């Protein structure tokens, strides 16, 4: 499954490096946009406090800066996404080419699904989750110092590093709790794929002949049962996940409340801290944010690993 990186180093390794560099450029623009928040909302507060203290041309110039930064972010993001899609599809092609050589020679359950559908899912999930993971790591490296520095105005009230400690504690607690709550989901996803594969295989067998109704009914009954079981487990998991994510929205303002009420910080600083805290906490919550895709990737990876082992 990973021979792509050894057999084709130019695309495998070189392409990965280019993607990382592109994501790094986006994160650097995010840092500049975070600085822009402080300037922009500072101008708004100044204007509301002292009318005409900020010139109209200066205000428009600040808006123009955002357009420039956001435009550059969009261009780089589109190019990175386009290149990453090609890169991941070449990875899928490398897997499929290897599987084609031995397809039909090894009796493996759902072999056709593993070669066609599972490689497609694997490629798409790796593209989405891989890019998100790299972006999360780079963002954390860049925004931890920024969040610490932004804590200076509220240091005398709450402590300078309290925002970082709060983000880390909340992310670790939330991720651990949700991992425990959702521990059954990867196995359920694997069972869903297995039952769907058996049902689809029967439909293909009976496509050009009279179908055996009892067989189809039995197989679809198994599909129904495993789906209903997954719906139940996702019911309580999503309740916990969404409650946690919604609760995190107000956390930075709870921490800053004493400084805000005391009038120690300006609107621009509050907005900067809110944005920086959001970047840090969101990327610390990588697994929480991406849990449905992680579950599916774990299941697909297990199926492809089984096929790899059977072909050796």
Please report how the helices 267-284 and 251-261 are oriented relative to each other, as an axis angle in degrees rounded to 10.
160
Q: Check residue 290 and give its pLDDT.
A: 80
CATH number at residue 268: 1.20.1560.10
Number of other CB atoms surrounding residue 46 within 10 Å: 16
The predicted structure's pLDDT at residue 107:
56
Amino acid 112: pLDDT: 61
pLDDT mean values, one per 10 residues, the chain (312 residues) = 62 84 92 88 85 87 93 92 84 72 58 65 79 86 86 80 87 87 85 82 75 82 90 89 86 86 82 86 81 79 70 60
Let me know the angle formed at the C-alpha of 108 by 104 and 113, rounded to the nearest 5 degrees.
80
Q: What is the pLDDT of residue 8?
A: 66
- At 69 the pLDDT is 93
Terminal-residue alpha carbon distance, the chain: 12
In terms of residue numbers, what domain contains 22?
A: 4-310
Question: What pLDDT is recorded for position 97?
Answer: 73
CB burial of residue 152 (10 Å; 0-12, 13-18, 19+): exposed
* Domains of the chain: total: 1
pLDDT (0 to 100) of residue 34: 86
CB neighbours of residue 31 within 10 Å: 17
pLDDT score at 182: 85
Contact 34, 279 (CB under 8 A): yes
């Amino acid at each position: 499954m990973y021979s792509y990186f050894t057999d084709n180093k130019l695309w495998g390794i070189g392409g990965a490096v280019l993607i990382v560099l592109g994501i790094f450029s986006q994160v650097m623009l995010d840092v500049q946009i975070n600085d822009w928040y402080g300037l922009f909302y500072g101008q708004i507060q100044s204007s509301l406090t002292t009318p005409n203290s900020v010139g109209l041309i200066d205000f428009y110039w600040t808006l123009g800066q955002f357009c420039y930064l956001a435009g550059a972010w969009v261009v780089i993001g589109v190019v990175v996404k386009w290149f990453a899609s090609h890169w991941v599809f070449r990875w899928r092609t490398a897997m499929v080419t290897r599987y084609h050589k031995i397809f039909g020679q090894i009796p493996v359950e759902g072999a056709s699904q593993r070669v066609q559908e599972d490689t497609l899912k694997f490629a798409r999930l790796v593209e989405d989750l891989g890019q998100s993971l790299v972006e999360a790591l780079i963002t954390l490296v860049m925004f931890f110092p920024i969040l610490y520095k932004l804590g200076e105005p509220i240091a005398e009230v709450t402590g300078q590093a309290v925002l970082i400690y709060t983000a880390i504690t909340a992310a670790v607690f939330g991720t651990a709790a949700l991992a425990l709550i959702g521990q059954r989901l990867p196995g359920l996803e694997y069972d869903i794929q297995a039952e769907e594969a058996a049902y689809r295989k029967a439909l293909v067998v009976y496509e050009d002949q009279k179908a055996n109704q009892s067989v189809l009914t039995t197989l679809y009954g198994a599909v129904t049962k495993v789906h209903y079981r997954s719906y139940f487990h996702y019911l309580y998991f999503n309740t916990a996940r969404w409650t946690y994510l919604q609760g995190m929205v107000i956390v930075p303002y709870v921490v800053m409340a004493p400084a805000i009420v005391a009038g120690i910080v300006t609107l621009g600083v509050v907005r900067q801290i809110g944005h920086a805290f959001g970047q840090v906490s969101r990327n610390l919550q990588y697994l929480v944010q991406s849990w449905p895709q992680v579950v599916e990737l774990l299941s697909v990876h297990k199926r492809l690993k089984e096929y790899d082992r059977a072909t050796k």
